[in-house]
Structure 1
């Protein structure tokens, strides 16, 4: 299939050997011209697709005019690239125009169904309540692009003014942050999330309440009468300092009776740690072992799988004992985590160094253990006495006796 010159200079074509366009063979058109002193040929298209000799000549004239004036593309490849770029720009403009109108409520309508798929029912219910009470009334009708940090500051203030804890306000901001991240990931929003410019209110939510030896004994006795399983979980947390999740995950292969050590895996800090067993813990686990029936979990649920949360039996027993009577501050209320806090508090009171306590608890930083420092006043007094004694020894005169 050779080239055939047309009646237009610089335009030629090839004829398809079999395919027809009307009564004539289909033709594929090319243009040929000089570019930077060299011959250049570019393809245009088939006659069956709308190309003609006249159109090909017109395109060639455009390129020559662009070369003469220095304006515009001087090759078909450049023209196509410019057309593709213009098309992409128009598409981006259309996307931006669509984004500009998306409201926070519309983003929520897409976000929340996925949340229900990927998160626990309790978490979803809590997020829905946060949306309904705090987020929607302030920014629900606003386009995502119009939400500014000042609007989120208003939401934060509304939560705090309603008497909610700073931690609640921080949770509301966290939901907003997740919503904007979702919108950005799904091309509903572009730019910086306004939540990135709003700081969460700070508050000391650390628990300070710990049980006395008498309260602990009363609690364990009452729990044992109501539920042996809850009693054993509580005893393990009280005398080994385990978090609830660590109790739920404890497996028999990680209970070493010979060495008297529990190995805790996949902990909150992400590290595996070992905790020694007290006599009470060893005795309790020894009694539970025969009933394992091949289940690797030390505390399986009734269906044999891992427990998800502490039974309400614990809360009811605490209430029956009156341990939370007349206590308003949530940090002072007895909950299951109080047992771990009691474990640490008792250790410090009995002179165990803070660094050792921190390692037993699996704290990732020493600052987390510092909350217990006030329970060891004698320890700090001894340190100051040592310093004072050193000062006296350094300043006394030869032959002088130091009094006291």
Structure 2
């Protein structure tokens, strides 16, 4: 190793690099020696190639000695470096805090929330959220910093949606996205305080579909679908007689079809739980007529072998050709693919199947979701009232309720 050499400044010395040059001279490494708290200290500074010179080293040494003389500030180079690092971190933290405060709703949604939150969301949800963001949220909130968004701005969104004739459900979805974005910002330090959505009154929404098909309507629809698209017919048949959602039909693989027990294993359902569906003979016949694939292949693959992501427009055309939606404006009364699942549940209740069993077959998380079908079993309530009548005395004699003395 090269020998240390004294510089022209007391307390400053250097050693030359054996081969590396800085300019025409060999690169030099500088160090300073001094007394600190009664101890002899030597600390390295750096190379000429890093900007160090004899004068710069001497000035630093003079600064440390002056701090020691006055009893203020760092008296060792390590203390000075630690102080500088602490100041740098404080500046960075302040800069970061200012950036967090200035970030707008649209910037946060696009750059931070969506890439993170949407990783676990399904395609249909992503499309709906993007539509609500572009059509309602960005125009009203996009340029506002998160910290400046107040309940009054959300009330304006509610009014805009209502003025455009959109359903309360649209408002509910829009507010839900805003709530999720602010909760995300709270967790990641981009927002402080109370979520503004918590102070906004949510619209009353009853978006539950109440329309179901009669057996005659269902058969007519299946016939139309079979003529238009045998594949769509089979998907509709599966939903109608097994209560599957469209997404559950699209995800079904041959490995989840158990012909021996007449069951389907439904995975990645809306509730996040795996459930079992039971298929009758008519569905068995349909499934057996299809060409079985490998364990992981879908029963209803898209063209090219991929995954179907939405119901074909042929379904709507078949419904319209039968006039099933003629004169109907209420979306809860219109026939859509989900009506088939609703029909499945309605038929079960009409045939005397109890609500708890229907709940389990549908995969509802709570019985309250299934109670919408309770009115379809009117005989149950009639029998309940008749029980009271049957237990009353028939003699016409009045029974005294007074205690005997």
**TM-score scaled by length of structure 2:** 0.76
Please give the alpha-carbon distance, in whole angstroms, between the structure 2 residues aligned to 1:231 and 1:22.
82
SS of 1:332's equivalent? Answer: coil
Corresponding residue number in structure 2 for 1:318? 319
The match for 1:168 among 150, 167, 170 is 170
Segments of structure 1 that go 5 or more residues without pairing to the other structure are 393-404
Q: 1:260 to 1:103 in 2, by over 3 A?
A: closer
Matches within 5 A, 1:49-64: 51-64=52-65
Displacement of 1:330 after TM fit? 0.8
Corresponding residue number in structure 2 for 1:67? 68
Corresponding residue number in structure 2 for 1:85? 86
Corresponding residue number in structure 2 for 1:397? none
Please give the alpha-carbon distance, in whole angstroms, between the structure 1 residues aligned to 2:155 and 2:25.
74
Corresponding residue number in structure 2 for 1:262? 264
Matched residue count: 387
Corresponding residue number in structure 2 for 1:155? 157
Contact 2:30–2:46 (8 Å) recurs in 1: yes
Segments of structure 2 that go 5 or more residues without pairing to the other structure are 394-405
RMSD: 4.3
Corresponding residue number in structure 2 for 1:236? 238
**TM-score scaled by length of structure 1:** 0.76
Displacement of 1:331 after TM fit? 0.9
Displacement of 1:176 after TM fit? 4.6
SS of 2:365's equivalent? Answer: coil
Corresponding residue number in structure 2 for 1:329? 330
Q: 1:357 to 1:197 in 2, by over 3 A?
A: same
Please give the alpha-carbon distance, in whole angstroms, between the structure 1 residues aligned to 2:142 and 2:28.
60
Summarize deviations over 1:357-404 as a string: whole Å, max 9, x none. Answer: 111112222222222223334445656777999999xxxxxxxxxxxx
SS of 1:41's equivalent? Answer: strand
Please give the alpha-carbon distance, in whole angstroms, between the structure 1 residues aligned to 2:276 and 2:372.
22
SS of 1:344's equivalent? Answer: helix
Please give the alpha-carbon distance, in whole angstroms, between the structure 1 residues aligned to 2:357 and 2:122.
36
Please give the alpha-carbon distance, in whole angstroms, between the structure 2 residues aligned to 1:39 and 1:204.
81
Matches within 5 A, 1:240-389: 240-286=242-288, 288-289=289-290, 291-292=291-292, 296-379=297-380
Please give the alpha-carbon distance, in whole angstroms, between the structure 2 residues aligned to 1:259 and 1:348.
24
Contact 1:30–1:42 (8 Å) recurs in 2: yes
SS of 1:331's equivalent? Answer: coil
Please give the alpha-carbon distance, in whole angstroms, between the structure 1 residues aligned to 2:72 and 2:64.
10
